[in-house]
Amino acid sequence: GDYLLKLIGTAGQEGYIPLTVWQPSSDATYLMINRTFTEEAWNAYGGYSFYQGEGPCPPGSGTYPVCNRARVVSLDRPYDTGYGASDFLSNEYPLIRFSEEHGLDVAYVTDIILDADPQIALRHRVLLSFGHDEAWSWNERMAAQTAQSDGVNIVFFGAAAVLRHVRMQPSPLGPEREEVDYRDASEDPLNGVANPLEVTGNTWASPPTDLSEVPLVGELYSGCLTGANNAPFVVSDAAAW
């Protein structure tokens, strides 16, 4: 199941810790995949995430992605938003609550577990990707693609899925404790010396992977729309579900 633990200190301090409890033998119909990769990618606890950092950037380094961003982040940090819950309550909890209230046959797993054991995906009939599920590893992507080819359904409940390319590595505390995303293939130490499908360019569609998310997801992320550049949403097939 998915849990949100609330911590209360002796002086009244409060904070949350999201917890996913995985049942390895489960063959439930639906598999909900919690987005730890994306949560940690945006987690700026300690001052750094894959999108922001601290300290100046040299002239000419550009504005995005910023030069002082992290290239490796640790999972052994609390989340810096939502009092430690990050965006669990907005991007995951509503679907979890709906599924449980309606008695759906659901199992829970994190993308980190799916990265370590891709065969999990084949034991279920539907994979459910929550909102803002943008960071995926090669193992996770292969798990989804293999499952899809085997007849498993996949539902993406948000835009920008399978956009950023990350990978896991061990830390002194154990395996799969650090998440890597250089967002620039030329900086990645694996570039040119290891499997190019593990090299973290800016996106999955960037060299050297050159793998668009469109065949898997069915859509392409092209940027953020704000009040200054809104665009109409046009329904091309009103008969589709």
Per-residue model confidence (pLDDT) at position 67: 94
- pLDDT at position 225: 74
Q: Is the pTM of this model over 0.85?
A: yes
Cα dist from 191 to 40, 165, 185, whole Å = 23, 14, 6
The candidate with the shortest Cα–Cα distance to 113, out of 166, 168, 38, 163, is 168
Q: Exposed (0-12), middle (13-18) or buried (19+): which is 148, by Cβ within 10 Å?
A: middle
Q: Which of 108, 113, 112 is nearest to 127 (CA)?
A: 108
**Those residues with Cβ within 8 angstroms of residue 65's Cβ, 6 or more apart along the chain or in another chain:** 50, 51, 183, 184, 202
State whether residue 19 is helix, strand or coil.
strand
Task: Give the pLDDT of residue 222.
Answer: 78
H-type helices in the chain, by residue range?
36-42, 88-91, 93-101, 111-116, 138-149, 214-217
Q: What pLDDT shows up at residue 229?
A: 77
10-residue averages of pLDDT along the chain (241 residues): 96 96 96 97 97 90 90 96 95 95 97 96 97 96 97 94 96 95 96 95 95 92 77 87 75
Q: Is 141 left (phi over 0), alpha (psi -120 to 50) or beta?
A: alpha
Token output for 159 = 């835009």
pLDDT the model gives residue 219: 87
Identify which of 207, 31, 38 has the alpha carbon closest to the alpha carbon of residue 136.
38
The sign of the dihedral angle between the CA atoms of 65, 69, 72, 77 is negative
